[in-house]
């Protein structure tokens, strides 16, 4: 396979990194399981579910910023990386963007005991049926629980909010991110 594999039974939640780029990423780098586009006012956001991972690209005029949650790979570009860190525990991060915009993310990697994980997994899975986008991977189910990616968003005129949940049943782990892309007016 010529793209970055983000869904495999041996993928561990602790292998995931968060990357922020000041440019779009080439779609052929990833195996896409679902693609979505949100248009709001003067910007649009492209959201790709790429296994137990995601890519969110927000574009306004000629300015683009991309959030990627993925396993680190030699195939990922190094040009345009603004932020890179391993997802572990809880972390809040802010990054000023070119032309005065702002990116904020809160991430959490939580491993639970079997009973709690099953309850949380079931709750999130059911809620995902009514809101946002859900991509399940039945082929990797563990103990009757399938890995999944669930993404919700909120589009405002000058902000784009994204909430992601990546469920790793084989580890009894949930990876969550809450991101805000603040956009400002400027020369397009």
Q: What is the pTM of this model?
A: 0.92
Helix or strand run (H / E) with residue 118: helix 114-128
pLDDT at 74: 80
Q: How many CB atoms lie within 10 A of CB 49?
A: 26
188 residues of the chain, pLDDT tens digit each: 455 555 555 578 999 999 999 999 999 999 899 999 999 999 999 999 998 999 999 999 989 999 999 988 888 999 999 999 999 999 999 999 987 899 999 999 999 999 999 999 999 999 888 889 999 999 888 778 999 999 999 999 999 999 999 999 999 999 999 999 998 765 44
Strand 159-168 to strand 16-21: parallel, antiparallel, or no bridges (unpaired)?
A: unpaired
Tens-digit pLDDT profile for residues 129-139: 888 999 999 98
Q: What percent of the chain has pLDDT over 90?
A: 76
Rounded Cα distance between 110 and 176, Å, is 8
Rounded Cα distance between 115 and 123, Å, is 12
pLDDT at 98: 81
pLDDT at 1: 42
pLDDT at 8: 52
Rounded Cα distance between 64 and 49, Å, is 19
Tokens at residue 125, please? Answer: 């899975």
Residues facing residue 34 across a β-bridge: 49
pLDDT at 147: 94
């Amino acid at each position: 396979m010529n793209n970055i594999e983000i869904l495999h039974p041996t993928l561990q939640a602790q292998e995931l990194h968060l990357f922020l780029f000041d440019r779009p990423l080439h779609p052929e780098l990833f195996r896409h399981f679902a693609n979505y586009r949100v248009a709001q006012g003067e910007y649009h956001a492209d959201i790709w579910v790429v296994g137990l991972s995601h890519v969110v690209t927000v574009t306004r005029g000629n300015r683009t910023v991309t959030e990627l949650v993925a396993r680190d790979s030699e195939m990922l570009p190094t040009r345009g990386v603004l932020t890179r860190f391993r997802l572990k525990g809880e972390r809040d991060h802010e990054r000023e963007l070119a032309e005065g915009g702002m990116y904020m993310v809160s991430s959490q990697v939580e491993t639970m005991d079997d009973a709690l994980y099953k309850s949380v997994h079931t709750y999130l899975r059911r809620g995902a049926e009514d809101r946002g986008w859900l991509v399940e991977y039945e082929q990797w189910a563990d103990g009757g629980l399938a890995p999944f990616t669930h993404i919700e968003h909120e589009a405002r005129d000058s902000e784009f909010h994204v909430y992601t949940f990546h469920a790793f049943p084989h580890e009894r782990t949930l990876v969550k991110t809450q991101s805000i892309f603040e956009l400002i007016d400027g020369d397009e």
